[in-house]
Chains A and B, each alone.
Chain A
């Protein structure tokens, strides 16, 4: 069965000056299944956000393919890709916009185009209740504490009941308890709804409730393996057998 999200040999570079480019993502391949939680452990400025944006259909990679439910995202028209992002892919960020809306209204925003205001607000209230942040509903978004904002961001990202949830380092500024709360919440939502979750994290604590952990550094993503699984560590070779090749 196809994975819900597949990245195949995805590469992306950013220009630096007129002549140089900086590789941000290099030959990244990753599958995420429905109901699965995958954490990408990376330090600052290693391409976490870029990887998630590529997976969301926001930033076109220079090379490689991104498949969502077997369909190549970047072969879709901008309009169809945008519709997909609105309906089936949720994206949660720690900061969110600097707006003065009450939390309930902010969480309801994604539904206002497709639902009546009453229904949108009801569903937003339910989404807040599900993440345990119903008490924040009337508070202005900007006054939320980091932990409350993380929960409200999750409520907003899941209010449309997406099939894929991309979460960008939501726990970076949270304490241990709040990180644990977010992890448990994602775990239960993913397993109850069959939601696929891909989240970038900068701390191992945040990976506790995830099924798989991958490591991103220097633009390269390494998935977990057992010692000797690729055979490299049991190969005996002389020094002159090493040579460099371009991929």
Chain B
């Protein structure tokens, strides 16, 4: 299988290239499509602009015109429309057919737990608790998107069906994360008790100043 080298941005560039092979777009549209279709990846506004700059430098994308954006009923800023070049289409196809990499697990929380001392345990429990709440919030938001996709699903629309598959993958990811955090919280609380905390006690954090 052909190998595709990856830049420091992972495959964000290929993703933008893939969106361009689907249809010509400006950077705002690309950012919006990234958010709509890969919401859990949390791409920042401006991701598309950075990717386009690199794709242009590599001859994989090119400007094909300009258009004024609508703004409050009038004409807004002038934006550039991009498309994938033939080399870009070929590059995207290479990426599409290449095996996927196994992502490295570089988790800040893993590192903190690995490096924590007994005195840090109460704060670790609080951090895990907070992460668990945030993850359930993420799952909740994702559920809204999945529901909307299911309700509006056009069974003849291949892309919509694939987007739904990806959403269920995101759900599974958050589920496994929440379940791991649930286990870790209980485990760290046990450790904390082993190191002298009273059962059921809670941590108090004093602000400095």
Contacts and interface: CB of A to CB of B under 8 A. Distances in A.
Interface of A: 23, 26, 41-43, 46, 180, 187, 203-205, 207-218, 220, 222-227, 230, 232-233, 235-239, 241-247
Given A203-B175, A233-B127, A244-B201, A225 B182 contact: no
Q: Which 7 A-B pairs have the closest CB atoms?
A: A204-B175, A217-B182, A224-B137, A218-B186, A224-B136, A225-B133, A241-B206
B147 A242 contact: no
Contacts of A217: 132, 182-183, 185-186
A25 to B, nearest CB: 12
Contacts of A211: 140
Interface of B: 119-120, 122-123, 126-127, 129-130, 132-137, 139-140, 143, 146-147, 150, 168, 171-172, 174-175, 178-179, 181-183, 185-186, 189, 196-208
Contacts of B171: 204-205, 208
A85 to B, nearest CB: 29
Interface of B is mostly: helix
Contact of B147 (A209, A214, A243, A245): A209
B201 A213 contact: no
Contacts of B147: 187, 208-209
Contact of B130 (A26, A208, A232, A247): A232
Nearest to A219: B186
A171 B127 CA distance: 31
Contacts of A235: 205, 207
A208 B143 contact: yes
11 contacts: A23-B199, A23-B200, A204-B171, A204-B175, A214-B136, A215-B136, A218-B186, A224-B137, A226-B134, A235-B207, A244-B196
Contacts of B175: 41, 203-205
